[in-house]
Amino acid sequence: MSPDAVFALLDTLCAGTGAVPPRRTWVVGCEPATVEEGIGLSPQVAAAVPEAVRLAVELAGGHDPVRAEYTPLQRLRRTP
């Protein structure tokens, strides 16, 4: 399911559980080197996983990287 489809369903999912939609939604991901079919992660994606997990844990704990001295996403963006 694409991210835009998930966000479009957010109100419906919240209404079904009686929850209030979040004020802010963070998306942590990485850009694949290729979208060809295959099994497993590319070396580049595998190398990015620990930092993505660390960032997700920070976000879940209430840390706001946008208000930090610099955005951790800058470290993750490694475009050739």
Q: Is the pLDDT of residue 78 over 70?
A: no
Q: For residue 50, what pLDDT is reported?
A: 92
pLDDT exceeds cutoff 70 at 34: yes
Mean pLDDT of all residues belonging to the chain:
77
Rounded Cα distance, 22 and 33, in Å: 31
Eight-class DSSP state of 22:
P
Instruction: List Cα–Cα distances, 63 to 22, 67, 75, in angstroms.
Output: 15, 9, 16
Q: How confident is the model at residue 49 (pLDDT cuts 50, 70, 90)?
A: very high
Query: Rounded to two decimals, what is the model's pTM?
Result: 0.57
Dihedral sign of CA atoms 49, 73, 3, 19 in order: positive
What lies within 8 Å, CB to CB, of 20 at 6+ separation is 14
Residue 79: what pLDDT?
45
76 near 48, Cβ under 8 Å?
Answer: yes
